[in-house]
A = this chain, B = another copy of it.
Amino acid sequence: MTRVKTSDLSDSAVAAWARLLRTSQSLLADVEAGLKAAGLPPLVWYDALLELRGEKDGLRPYQLQERMLLTQYNMSRLLDRLAEAGYVDRRPCLEDGRGQIVHLTSAGRALLKRMWPVYRTLIAEHFSGRLSDKDCRDLARILDKLAPSYATG
């Protein structure tokens, strides 16, 4: 049994919490702005397409939502936009008549290729360029402790 304090917060805990919220909000805004400035779609499109890449047999929407921590209706509407733009393909699922299978299209694959150099540069500029390699490893280790059940892919 792990003993968990329920409501006693140290100053350092509150400070760390505030910085985590503030910093992640700011970083996300900067990176989204950078993508937009390059005429590219938002990060969530990249994430979804990246999950689908390498899944030769595609993924069911519910699998995608689980990996991306999205709600079902959010995923449904995201897939609407991605399909509308031609980056994914929705096919009926043979094993389960309720569901579908989502595949990455070649246009989707091409978008990933086009986005990555920009995204990569933005991460370097706003994030890793300001940290040492040890900082990155320490940060990942600490954040991993905060993941209760879901995978940290």
Residues of A within 8 A of B (CB): 4-10, 12-29, 69, 117, 120-121, 123-131, 133, 135-140, 142-148, 150, 152-153
Identify A136's interface contact among B13, B121, B133, B137, CB under 8 A.
B13
- Quick one: copies of this chain in the complex? 2
The verdict on A128 contacting B17 (CB below 8 Å), with A12-B140, A138-B142, A142-B139 known, is yes
A110 to chain B minimum Cβ distance, whole angstroms, is: 20
- B29 & A136 in contact (Cβ 8 Å cutoff): no
The verdict on A18 contacting B153 (CB below 8 Å), with A69-B25, A133-B10, A136-B13 known, is yes
Q: How far is the CA of A125 from the CA of B4 in the complex (A)?
A: 8
